[in-house]
Amino acid sequence: MLSILPVTRIPEIKKGDDLGKLIVDRLVNQGDELQNGDIAVISQKIVSKAEGRILPLSKVSPSTFAKTIAKETGKDPRQVEVVLRESKKIIRMRGGHLITETNQGFICANSGVDQSNVGTAPDSVTLLPHDSDASADRIRKTIHSITGKSVPVIITDTFGRAWRIGQVNFAIGISGMKPIRDYRGTRDMYRRTLQVTEIAVADELASAAELVMNKADKVPVAIVRGYKAPKGQGRIKDLIRPEEFDLFR
C-alpha cells in the first residue's frame, strides 16, 4: 500500500546542518523509522539553507540591465540582479513575469530565487543548490550510514506550468533511483507496442509528497512508502528536455 508520511517539527535550518541525520532523528521521534525502499522527498529550501545558499540583498549592487528589467517588471532591482546571475538566459519576460533558464538547466520563474520562508533574514533570498543531484547523494549516503537502509532521495521545488493554472512540486535533484519509468517497447492491455511512453516518476513522487509538505507548518520533508522506484542511478538532467527537442522555447 502506498503511503506518504510527513516528517514534522523540523527545526529552523542553518548552514552546515546535517539533513540526513536530522530526517532520521525526527522520524524516530515520531515513533517510526526508515525502511528499505522508502523515498525521502525534501524541499529545496532547507537544502539551500543547509548549504548556505542564502544571499542578503543588501550585498547586491544591481546592474543597469537589472534596473531596466526591474522597472519593466515592478521587481526589486537587487533581486533581478540575483536572478540574472543565477541564469543562463532569459526565456520570457511579460506582465511582470521573468522566466529564465537557470545555471542548472531548469526553466522556471526568477531562476528559482525566492524570498519566502527565508527565516530570520527577511531582506535575503534563497538560491537553488549548485548541484541538487550532489546534494541528494550526500543526504542519501548519510541516511544509509546511520540506518543501513537504502533510501532514494528526491529534492524538490515548486514550479509553475505552461498551459495550466497553479504550481506543483517538481524534482530538481535525485539520488538512488531512475527518474523515469520507461515503457517504450512494452505492450499495452490491447497488445499494442508502446512507442513514446516515459513516465516522469520522480516528478510524480515530488507532487504527491507536496500534499503533506505544508510550508506554514514546517513540513519540508515527506517519506513515500510502498512505491517501487525504478532501480538505478539517474540524474536530474534525464528529465530535462534538450533545447533542440523543445518545441516551445
| Domain span including residue 215 | 3-52+129-240
Domain count, the chain: 2
Using an 8 Å Cβ cutoff, are 6 and 210 in contact?
no
pLDDT for the residue numbered 200: 93
Which of 10-14, 146-150, 242-246 is predicted with the least confidence, judged by mean pLDDT? 242-246
Provide the Cα torsion 221, 224, 225, 228; round to 10°.
-140
Q: Which helix (H) or strand (E) holds 41?
A: strand 39-43
Reading the block at residue 34, the C-alpha cell is 526508515
Reading the block at residue 246, the C-alpha cell is 523543445
Residue 26's pLDDT band (cuts 50, 70, 90): very high
Of 64, 94, 124, the residue that ends a domain is 124
d(CA 219, CA 212): 7
pLDDT for the residue numbered 129: 97
Whether residue 143 sits in one domain with residue 105: no
Which of 9-23, 101-115, 119-133, 223-237 is predicted with the least confidence, judged by mean pLDDT? 119-133
Q: Examine the pLDDT at 193 and tell me if it is beyond 80.
A: no
pLDDT for the residue numbered 81: 96
pLDDT for the residue numbered 18: 98
User: Which of the pair, 119 or 246, is modelled with greater confidence?
Assistant: 246
Q: Please choose, from the candidates 174, 162, 185, the residue with its C-alpha nearest in 3D space to the C-alpha of residue 232.
A: 174
- CATH code assigned at 170: 3.30.1330.100
pLDDT for the residue numbered 183: 59
Q: Which residues, in sequence order, are bridge partners of residue 104?
A: none
Q: Which residues contact 242 (CB under 8 A, 6 or more apart)?
A: none
Of 124, 140, 167, the residue that ends a domain is 124
Say if 245 falls within a structural domain: no
Distances (CA, A) of 25 to 18, 31, 97, 146, 200: 11, 10, 40, 10, 30
Q: Which residues contact 121 (CB under 8 A, 6 or more apart)?
A: 54, 56
Q: Which helix (H) or strand (E) holds 198?
A: strand 198-199
pTM for the full predicted model: 0.93
- CATH code assigned at 113: 3.90.1660.10
